[in-house]
Amino acid sequence: MDKNYWIERLKLEVHPEGGFYREVYRSADLVKTTPPKFNEQRPSSTSIYYLLSSETKAFCHKIKSDEAWYYHVGSPVTLFYIDQQSVFNVKVLGPGDGQDLFIVIPQNCWFGARVLEPDSFALVSCMVSPGFEFSDLEMADRNELIDTFPQHKESILKFTLMDNL
Cα torsion 17, 79, 161, 123: sign: negative
Closest among 126, 91, 120, 113 to 4, alpha carbons compared: 120
pLDDT at 53: 93
The list of the chain residues with pLDDT below 70 reads 57-58, 161-165
Q: Where are the beta strands (DSSP E) in 32-120?
A: 42-43, 46-53, 61-62, 66-74, 77-82, 88-93, 102-105, 110-115
| pTM of the predicted model as reported, rounded to 2 decimal places | 0.91
Q: What is the CATH number of the domain that holds 58?
A: 2.60.120.10
CB contact at 8 A, 94 and 102: no
pLDDT at 57: 67
Cα gap 99→137, rounded to integer Å: 27
Using CA atoms, how far residue 129 sits from 95, 141, 155, in Å, is 24, 25, 28
Domain residues for the domain of 122 are: 3-164
Cα gap 99→102, rounded to integer Å: 9
The CA-CA-CA angle for residues 60, 88, 74, to 5°, reads 60
pLDDT at 163: 47
Across-strand partners of 71? 124
Which three-class secondary structure state does DSSP give residue 90? strand
Tally of domains in the chain: 1
